[in-house]
Structure 1
Amino acid sequence: MPFPLSRLARFELRRFRGPLPTIALVFVLCVPLLYAAIYLSANWDPYGRLGNLPVAVVNEDVPTQVEVKAASGSHTTTHTETIHAGADFVKELQAKRTFRFITTDAAEAEDGLREGRYYLTIQVPADFSTNLVSGQTDSPERAHITMHRNDANGFVIGSITDKAKDSVTEAVNASAIESYFRAVFTNLQTLRSGMVEAHQGAAHLASGLDQARTGSSALASGAADAQLGAGRLASGADSLSTGLARAHQGSSSLVTGLDQLQTGASQLSTGADQVAAGTQTLRDTVVPPLTTVRDTWPQVQGDATTLATDAAALTSSVSGTTSSVASDVNQAASLLTQIEAANPDLAQDPRWQQLRSTTSSAQTRTDQASTRAAQINARAQQVQRAVAHSDTLTTKVDQAIADVNALNDGAHQVASGADQLQTGIGRADAGARSLDQGLSTASRGATELATGAHSLQTGLAQLSTGASQLDTGIGQLATGAHQLAAGLKAGVDRIPVLTADQENKAVQVLSAPAQVDMTVENPALYYGRGLAPMFFSIAMWVFGISVFLVVRAITGRALAGRASSLRVALTAWLPIGAIAVAGSLLMLGVVWTTLDLAPVHPVLTLTVTVLGALAWSLVAHLMRTALGTPGSSLLLVLLILQLVGAQGLYPSQILPPFFAHLSPFLPMTYLIDAFRVVISGGLISHLARDLAILTLFSVVNLGLLWLVVSRRRTLRLKDLHPPLITP
């Protein structure tokens, strides 16, 4: 009858008699406790003891003065306030007690950091207060705080102190933002009063621009009308300039003609004087002889012939076709007619009318003189014939005397008219010259008037365009002013009038507008509590490596017995499994009671611990039974792989690709996850999956152990001389 398995296991344990074997067994039993308890106690709550970590604080800040404005109704008062931002910052740090803050100077802080007396230095510069309140000015500057650490004092503690940078920055920024918004709300009423005044000014501006728009519209309309009038003026000035230019040309021709007429009149006057002198001489010469003729007829006949000859010459001078008084007078009359035709306006000039009248009178008298001269000539011829043939000489002589007297009178009248004609033509010439000068001056003035009218038209066109643009611009300004007034009114309405309590609340809210709340599911509470699943798993695995320093994996007696291979395998494993379970429970109990593990699922925690101890002892027993001492080395290699890839510290998503892909195939991955669920909480479905995988892993290891025991019960030659010692 075979012995029960428990009895066979007790036989193996009974070997540990005496002090030294017992101590060795107790040591192996305490391996999980030593590993897990020591590491967890050292790392259970390191952040809770940061208040003992010395940190040097150097405050070199110089307080600054700042002007604070306060609004009261429509009045604003200003007072000076001293800002001690550096001292306030140090006081706030010491009040929080995040670290053991020690206030010192820069030299002591630098020496202490270098020698390891301080793990972090915080230095507040001299311009900290000045830069912190510069946000209220036109040139804000960022306030700086210098933090200095030395990784030679420990990289991990350096990483921990580095996290203080965010909290310090947050505290400084919150203080600066609060100061800024407090200044904003302090000046809010001043801003509102200014906007009210700006709204009133904008309303007045809009009203004035409306009136200016009316005036600019009238200006634009008047400028357009003035432009039209200037165009008409320019057109009339052009016509006047053209007409006066033509009149000037005509007056120049008139002056030229009058000069010629005056020359002819002068010649006519001279000829008329000569004729008058000749007729006078003729009378003085002819009449006395005629008297004598009557007495001395023969002599008269001779004289009659002479008279006929002189009369013919006189007739030629007075009324000849060329170089006669009549031809000169007619030529002067013809020139006047041509001048009047070329200058119709002269017909209305009184002096011109007098000149024409004088010329006409001279022409009439010249005609009379010509007629008389012709008559005298005819009569002289008749006298000659009569003297030669007539018997009535006395009568004819008397008639001749009368005719000579008449001729003399006519010649004197012609001479007098010629003198009057010359005088009138001289006056007409002087008037024509004055007229020519006046028309020349008027023509130049008309040209300048036309040029000025065109310039006026251009200027008025520009004025009209500018007035239209001004009208449009003023319209836009008026629209903008109304919009500005409406916008300022809306802005004034939107600026609230806050009480002191409302202002303080608004400052607090705006300086920290968002509050981030984090809800932690299944909190680990302590740093060590979060690491416990990994350290528990590692401690039980280390037990599997160290237990075989004291306990044999399997005895030769058991292998040589007649029991089945499965029974032999179970008999060899049970003592190791029992020690593993006992040591693991001892580890769990000590950590539970001394470090306040407080698992969420106590019973399941015991179950996971027992299952983990059995699973790890099975795989350790399998490796040791199959490989001997190299099996322990392989267990160490597997431990190293699982330290990195079992997701004890980091999730697989941030692990290197090799370990991320290896993680699902490592058994410690599931034991760590199971411990997390039972200690901190989590999905029971994950726990069920983990327990199922660990159970399957244990069953597979037990089956492999059965096969290994079966193989080892068949002795081979190399088993008599093993290359490595196999207990």
Structure 2
Amino acid sequence: MTQPVQTPSTQPTPPDQSTRPPARTGLLGDLRTLTPAERGLWRMPLMWAAALAILFIPLIYVAVYLGSVWDPYGKLSALPVALVNLDDGTVYRGKSYNLGADLLQTFHEDPPAKFVRYPSEAAAQNAVRRGEVYFALTLPADFSRKAIAGSSSERGLLRLYSAEGTSYFASRVGSSIATAIASTLNERLGTNRWDTVQASLAQVQQGFADLRAGAAKLKDGAATLATGTGRLRTGAETLASGAAKASSGSLQLSQGAQNLSGGVGRLTAGVTRLSGGIRQLSARAPGQAQLQPLLTGAASLRQGSADLYGGLGKLSAGADSLAGGAKTLNTGVAQADAGAGALAAQLPALATGLTQLQGGAQNLSKEAADLNSGATRLGAGIGQLGSQGAGLGLNPTQLSSLQGGAGNLKAGADALAKGSAQLQGGAGTLAQGLGTAQAGAQKAAAGTAQLGSGTAQLRAGAARLQSGAASLAQNTAQAQAGAGKLSQGASSLENGLKTLVAGTLKVKSALGTIDQSLPAQSDLKTLAGGASTLASSSGTLATGVQGVSSGAASLARGAADADAGARKLRDGLNTFYSKIPARTETLGGDPAGLSASVQVVTEHTASVANNGAAFAPYFMVLSLWVGCTLTTFIFPYLLIAESGRRTGQLARVLRKFAVPAVYVVAQALLVVLGVHLLGVKFLHSGLLIFTAVAASLTFMLLVLALNLLLGAAGRLLALVLLVIQLAASGGSYPVELSSGFFQWLHTYIPVTDAINAMRYALFGSYEGQYGVFMLRMFAVALVSLAVALLSRRKWQYIADERFRSPLVLDVG
């Protein structure tokens, strides 16, 4: 505040002794001293007019602000809003829909705002930009078509166009109205779709029944299929096993056929060589005519050796007749020498023939053994061929022909084996006999050699007979012994020759029989060709049977897979059938219940009737602060009449506080009454009055302390605090939504406690905290009083007659 200007006409003169204020007489005396000047303020009509006007300012403040926010949502029907309906409608499932027209009808019956129709969306948006309307709602041409379709890819779009800068509240209202319209339309569309679903539900139920019946048939078919695939799998496994065995048998058959073909080839060659050898042997084998001289010579040899033995016996018996028998001896010796020479000449040829004959017999025995072995293997192969012919895949005619040919071939092979066995036996016997004959011939050759030597000696001895008669007995004995051996050898030779001749004749006859029994060359070629064809065909058969075996194995695996798949199909269809309900439940509920199955059940504490009632504590406290601040314009808080210069600080503070205190209490009561007349209901009326009075007195002490502490700047700081507390009190929005500075300040300003205490008195908020709020306000009041009592430097003194309200002096 500005200091008063001292003019000469108003400059107070120092009081003389007679006009000095009396000495202090205590607190009551100080109050009595200060009271006349303070009462003198009310002698001016302007003071009463100003005081009366300022008294009702808090009430006007509350009434104006609460009236402006009392119930804005209840007057939305007066809010100008642009509406553009371009919807062309649509036809869906044979039924026509026009959501735009239906919506206009709804707005006509219960308008949520004051709708102004515009011909186009651009015109409506221009109106919003010009401020003619607060927001615009547009229904596009395809609104019904997209909304009715109900597809998530495209929806009916209700376009909202608003200008938040023009009115943020109106833009929020527009969003709420658009959301409500969309909710209403969705509910209506849900009802229509509900009817469609209910109509289609019977078809769905019939479809489920048909589906269950079809699933039952599929289940039965799958069971039959599983049984069939099981049999198929068993048959395929059996086929695969048989094919594997057939493959193994075909390989054995192929190998046997190849062996047979090789054996037949060797048999054919052997038979051909055998036939040639037999013919040669038969041609070379001596006959009866060629062997007869040998028999005759052997007989003569036997007889001559017997005679020799007898003669030598006689020689040994009668040495006396030696001389008489010398002539006979010479004759006999000459004959013996001639016979021995002839015998010696024939015996080498006989020995050579016997050796050749023995070799031929041995070759014949060997060839007969080979022939017997080949014929045996041929018979076995032909028998196996006949037994396995059924596995060759031949038709019955081919199989019968093959088996017949195989039978004939086997019979011939058996006969050939039997004849070759007989031939082998005869050839063995012949070889043995020829060996014996050869041994005898060798012995005969040795004997004839000895005989030739003997006859030569005999001849020489005959010449020396007469001179060597003394040694005749000894030589005759030796000759007799040799003659005995010769006789025995000749007899054995004769017997061997007889056996040889008989065996040779038998062999010659057997060779002829064998030659006639052997197959012809053309038959052997046919047999060799058939064996070769059989080997080739059996190889092809083996390859084919292996392919069949592989295919059978694949078939078995496929059959196993098919069986497993059929079982899975059967099990899956059983599960599918069991999951299909025998009957479908009807769709319960209703469209509204299904579209809003979850609802919020709200229970309130500290209920508030409307927006105005909710803001009442906030504006009531601010109005009381404003009322206290305005008292600085009518009451001189810093001005002291000259008569009170000697008064104490406590008396001054109490006197400066007394009248404004009554004044602000009156303001508080008027504010409470005004709020009640506006329609706000009080939960605790007494507490509300008490809170309003306590808040006014606390604010008054704080304003007084600021003035006494800071002088004229205190009034300015009180206004600044008003602005700060508007943001920090949390009256309009939760303080947690403001910045950190305001959240910190919120705890320490008295307006916060006053608002919270009034909320408890009005609505019951902050249960159990009312006492805390009042104690903190009381603490602020005590601190303010202490500051006021300590503030002594800002007092201004003025003559009693000039003591006026700041309205007149502009001095505080």
Deviations 1:242-275 (A, max 9, x none): 2222221111111112332344466678889x99
Counterpart contact for 1:237–1:449, Cα < 8 Å: yes
Report which stretch shifted further, 6-15 or 536-545.
Answer: 6-15
Matched, 1:339 2:375: no
Aligned partner of 2:788: which letter? L
1:9–1:673 distance in 2 versus 1, CA, 3 Å:
farther
Q: Aligned letter for 2:262?
A: Q
Q: Distance in 1 between matches of 2:784 and 2:686?
A: 25
Contact 2:82 2:137 survives alignment (8 Å): yes
Cα gap change, 1:359 to 1:217, in 2 (>3 Å): closer
Amino acid at match of 1:233: A
Match for residue 587 of structure 1? 671
Q: Are 2:704 and 1:613 aligned?
A: no
The 3 A distance-change label for structure 1 pair 680 and 358 is closer
Distance in 1 separating the partners of 2:637 and 2:561 = 109
Partners of 2:131 and 2:697 in 1: how far apart?
46
Deviation at 1:86, TM superposition (A): 3.3
For residue 625 of structure 2, what is the amino acid of its counterpart?
A: W
> Structure 2 CA distance, aligned partners of 1:668 and 1:617?
12
Whether the aligned pair in 1 keeps the contact of 2:372 and 2:421 (CA below 8 Å) is: no
Compute the displacement of 1:14 (Å).
Answer: 4.5
1:147 CA displacement = 0.8
Alignment of 1:99-498 (within 5 A): 99-104=113-118, 105-135=120-150, 140-264=153-277, 335-345=367-377, 348-350=413-415, 425=518, 427=520, 429-489=521-581, 492-493=582-583, 495-497=584-586
Task: Measure the CA separation in 2 of the matches of 1:512 and 1:52.
Answer: 31
What are the within-5 Å matches in structure 2 for residues 28-107 of structure 1? 28-67=54-93, 80-104=94-118, 105-107=120-122
- Corresponding position of 1:550: 634
Match of 2:782 among 699, 717, 727: 699
Instruction: Answer yes or no: is the 8 Å Cα contact 2:34–2:652 preserved in 1.
Output: no
Conservation of the 8 A alpha-carbon contact between 2:698 and 2:778: yes
- In the other structure, the counterpart of 1:661 is 744
Contact 1:646/1:669, CA 8 A, preserved across alignment: yes
Question: Which residue does 2:41 correspond to in 1?
Answer: 15
Letter paired with 1:569 = V
Q: CA, structure 1 residues 482+211, in 2 after alignment: closer, same or farther (shift >3 Å)?
A: same
- Residue 120 of structure 1 aligns with an amino acid whose one-letter code is F
- Which residue is equivalent to 1:596? 679
Map of 2:323 onto structure 1? none
Give the conservation status (yes or no) of the 8 Å contact 2:135–2:170: no
CA contact 1:181–1:511 (8 Å) conserved in 2: no
Q: What runs of 5+ residues in structure 1 fail to find an aligned partner?
A: 68-79, 279-307, 366-410, 716-723
Which of these two proteins has the greater Rg computed from alpha carbons?
A: 2
User: Contact 2:369–2:420 (CA<8 Å) still a contact in 1?
Assistant: no
CA RMSD, 1 decimal = 4.5
Larger mean Cα displacement after TM superposition, 643-652 or 83-92 = 83-92
1:418, 1:624 → 2: CA distance?
169
8 Å Cα contact 1:133-1:179 kept in structure 2: no
Matched, 1:671 2:754: yes
When structure 1 is superposed on structure 2, of 10-19 and 239-248 the one drifting more is 10-19
Determine whether 1:521 maps to 2:521: no
When structure 1 is superposed on structure 2, of 575-584 and 159-168 the one drifting more is: 159-168
Tell me which moved more, 699-708 or 188-197. 699-708
TM superposition shift of 1:134: 3.0
- For the residue of structure 2 that corresponds to 1:151, the secondary structure is coil
1:435-459 Cα shifts (integer Å, max 9, x gaps): 2222222222333333333333333
Q: Relative to structure 1, is the Cα distance of residues 252 and 701 closer, same or farther in structure 2, using a 3 angstrom cutoff?
A: same
Kindly state the Cα deviation for residue 510 of structure 1 after the two structures are TM-superposed: 0.5
One-letter amino acid of the counterpart of residue 251, structure 2: D
**Does the residue aligned with 2:156 lie in a helix, a strand or coil?**
coil
Query: 1: CA distance between counterparts of 2:631 and 2:526?
Result: 151
| Aligned residue identity for 1:37 | A
Contact 1:269-1:422 at 8 Å conserved across structures:
no
Aligned length: 632
2:709·2:794 contact (CA, 8 Å) conserved in 1? no
> Could you list the per-position Cα deviations for residues 40-65 of structure 1 after superposition, in whole angstroms to 9, with x for gaps in the alignment?
22222222111111112222233223
How far off is 1:432 after superposition? 2.4
Distance 1:242 1:684 in 2: 111
Percent same amino acid at aligned positions? Answer: 25
Contact 2:243 2:552 in 1 (8 A): yes
> Does the Cα contact within 8 Å between 1:45 and 1:526 map onto a contact in 2?
yes
Instruction: With a CA cutoff of 8 Å and minimum separation of 6, indicate the structure with the bigger relative contact order.
Output: 2
Distance 1:250 1:551, change over 3 A: same
Measure the CA separation in 2 of the matches of 1:519 and 1:24. 48
Q: Distance in 2 between the 1:169 and 1:598 partners? A: 36
Residues 40-94 of structure 1 deviation map (CA, whole Å, 9 limit, x = unaligned): 2222222211111111222223322323xxxxxxxxxxxx222323333444455
Specify whether residues 624 and 562 from structure 1 end up closer, same or farther in structure 2 by C-alpha distance, changes over 3 A only.
Answer: same
Cα 1:603/1:354, change in 2 over 3 Å:
closer
8 Å CA contact 2:187–2:591 kept in 1: the answer is no
Counterpart contact for 1:551–1:576, Cα < 8 Å? yes
Equivalent in the alignment of 1:372: none
Q: 2:768 aligns with which of 685, 705, 715?
A: 685
Question: Is contact 2:55-2:663 (8 Å) kept?
Answer: yes
Residues 1:559 and 1:222: Cα distance change in structure 2 (over 3 Å): farther
CA distance in 1, matches of 2:669, 2:662: 11
Over 3 Å counting, the alpha-carbon distance change for 1:346 and 1:547 in structure 2 is closer
Give the 3-state SS of the residue equivalent to 1:556 in structure 2: strand
Quickly say closer, same or farther: Cα 1:559–1:725, change in 2 above 3 A: farther
1: CA distance between counterparts of 2:132 and 2:156? Answer: 28
Cα gap change, 1:246 to 1:559, in 2 (>3 Å): farther
Letter in 1 for 2:148: V
**1:230 shift after superposition:** 2.6
Would the aligned equivalents of 1:55 and 1:120 in 2 still touch at CA under 8 Å?
Answer: yes
Counterparts in 2 of 1:6 and 1:694: CA distance versus 1, 3 Å:
farther
State the distance in 2 between where 1:569 and 1:542 align.
21
Secondary structure of the corresponding residue to residue 747 of structure 2: helix
Query: Are the counterparts in 2 of residues 253 and 339 from structure 1 also a CA contact under 8 Å?
Result: no
AA partner of residue 162 (structure 2): R
Q: Which amino acid aligns with 1:63?
A: G
> Helix, strand or coil for the counterpart of 1:665?
coil
SS of residue paired to 1:187: helix
Given that 1:202 and 1:485 are in contact with CA atoms closer than 8 Å, whether structure 2 keeps it comes out as: yes
Q: Which residue in 2 is equivalent to 1:404?
A: none
**CA distance change for structure 1 residues 337 and 586 in 2, over 3 Å: closer, same or farther?**
closer
Equivalent pair of 2:631/2:660 in contact (CA under 8 Å)? yes
Amino acid at match of 1:87: A
TM-score, with length taken from structure 1: 0.74
Residue type of the partner of 1:88? D
Paired position in structure 1 for 2:708 = 625
Letter in 1 for 2:775: A
Match for 1:586: what amino acid? L
Residue 614 of structure 1 and its aligned partner are, at CA, apart by 1.7
1:179 Cα deviation after fit: 4.4
Matches of 2:603 and 2:636, distance apart in 1: 51
